[in-house]
Amino acid sequence: MKCIVFCSGKGGTGKSCAAAYTGVALAAAGKKTLLLELGGDAPSLELILGVKDCAHGIWDIFSGRCEVSDAIVKSENYPGLFLLPSKGGTPEQNEAKLQALMKSLEHFDFVVVDGGGGADFPVRLCSVFVIVTTPDTLSVRACAQAAQRLREANAKEVRLLINNVPPRIIPINGAEDFDDVIDIVGARLIGIIPSSPKLAFCSNNEQPLDPESLTVKIFENLAARLMGQRRLLLIR
């Protein structure tokens, strides 16, 4: 089982959306994939994926109110994709609980974690941290700080995903192009996601993406990189 944690330095970067559609792409590639939602008072993966009937969540597991199998929901829209939602607020978690949970999920090929800043997830349990930023000064600065914390914690691998990139990017303090953003954050680039009204509509209305769209191809390539394959970096 390979654990991928999507995190960010601040809110509003589209981290949950990126985690969700990466999970969709991994499942479409034939990998049995679980999306694990950690924390947050406003869980979003259920809405993005159109998953119904989530009676339990990770809070119930950590509190001893249900078994792991009772909280996992199979996606009806995406074969091979499963969801373990946060459900009910921010779980009271610790490393021992997370380790036991991850042990119980070893029958999955991939566990994709929608996690906050990343620092609250034990680095030894994670294969790759994907830090999501948008191309603006505040987000890039916060992303760089999050990446530094992960490096100090000896994370195995930290990758950068630049999300919601408009056709014309506003000037970023200290960065003239994506190479500068990569240097500031100090992590290898794994993908660039252009801003897309269709992506925003689908993620807010429980609708699947157009399988022929550029966005789907970008997530397919992102998933392929996480599987160790070499793929072109698509932007347009």
What pLDDT score was predicted for residue 10? Answer: 86
**Are 89 and 14 in contact, with CB atoms under 8 Å apart?**
no
Select from 229, 234, 236, 149 the least CA-distant residue to 185: 149
Condensed to tens digits (0 to 9), the pLDDT of residues 202-220 reads 788 777 888 888 888 999 9
Domain assignment present for residue 152? The answer is yes
Structural domain boundaries enclosing 123 = 2-39+109-226
Query: What's the pLDDT at 130?
Result: 96
Q: Provide the pLDDT for residue 188.
A: 92
Average of pLDDT values for 127-140?
A: 92
Q: Is the pLDDT of residue 233 over 80?
A: no
- In a domain? residue 83: no
As for how many domains the chain has, the answer is 1
How many whole angstroms separate alpha carbon 127 and alpha carbon 188? 15
Give the pLDDT mean for 100-120. Answer: 86
- Greater confidence (3 vs 122) lies with 3
Determine the average pLDDT of the residues in 141-157: 92
Structural domain contains residue 139: yes
Strand 73-74, strand 110-114: pairing: unpaired
Least confident range of 85-94, 108-117, 219-228: 85-94
Task: Tell whether the model's pLDDT for residue 120 goes beyond 80.
Answer: no
Burial degree of 3 (CB within 10 A; 0-12, 13-18, 19+): buried
Percentage above 70 pLDDT, the chain = 88
In sequence order, what are the beta bridge partners of 64? none
Measure CA 132 to chain center: 8
Residue 71 lies in a domain: no
Kindly report the CATH number assigned to the domain that includes residue 213. Answer: 3.40.50.300
Q: What is the mean pLDDT of the chain?
A: 85
Q: How high is the pLDDT of residue 210?
A: 83
pLDDT at 95 over 60: yes
Higher pLDDT, 231 or 218: 218
Residue 175: per-residue pLDDT? 65
Span of 44-53, 57-66, 86-95, 115-124 with lowest mean pLDDT: 86-95
Residue 47 belongs to a domain = no
pLDDT of residue 90 exceeding 70: no
